[in-house]
Every structure is written in C-alpha cells, then in structure tokens.
Amino acid sequence: MPEQQHPARRESVQIVEDVLHRQEVDVCVELSFDRKRGLRGCATRTFRLVGVIKDDTDEYYLYLTNLPVADYNTPDIAQFYRVRWEVKLLFKELKSRFGLDEINTTDAYIIEALTIMR
C-alpha cells in the first residue's frame, strides 16, 4: 500500500539523510539569499521541496520548485523534472554536435537545411 501523500506545509527544514525515511518528501521551505549587486539587503522566497527515493539505490532525488500543491503531486513533479532534464541534455548535445547555438534564425526550414549541411 503506497504511503499517503502529505500536503506541503510551511516549516523550517534541514535535510539530513537520517531524517529522510519516507518514500516521498513534500514540504515548503524558505530560502534567504543576498540580492544582486546594486540592490541592498537579503531576499527570502518560499519554494516547495519535493523528493522521491529511487528504489534500486535508496537515494533521494530532490527538486526545488514553485509548482503548486493543488496542481502537482510529488511523483508528477519528479517525472516532470526527470523529462525536463533529458530535454536539456538533448539540446546540449544538439548544440555541441550540430552547432545549433550558432544558427541565428527561427525559420524551421533554414534550421533544417543548415543542420543537414553540417
């Protein structure tokens, strides 16, 4: 029986491995950081920290997101970011192998022609 998902709640969280014994983690965290140069002070933002454990290695995959609890459950977020990472790696490969970062057009036909010529 899968563990019941707990709604994200606002709390202070310090992630340490011995505390992470659940299959899923879903909490709100506040992060404070210095503002960019030229702006004074510190800023604080609230994010949702979700994590799932990978069964074969017992390692957590943690994701920091601003996606709302009402719209996305923990497994969906994990899957979403897993796919997003694959797309990012695909584009990195396309840029390095085919020089797509050097093509200065948005016309699909020109991009296709330049890619075939390489």
- Report pLDDT digits (tens) over 74-83: 999 999 999 9
Strands (E) located in the chain: 24-34, 42-54, 59-65
| Cβ neighbours, 10 Å, residue 52 | 21
What global pTM score does this model have?
0.61
Q: DSSP state, 77?
A: H
Contact 23, 51 (CB under 8 A): no
Strands (E) located in 41-107: 42-54, 59-65
For residues 29 and 70, what is the distance between their CA atoms, to the nearest angstrom? 17
- Mean pLDDT, residues 31-49 taken together: 83
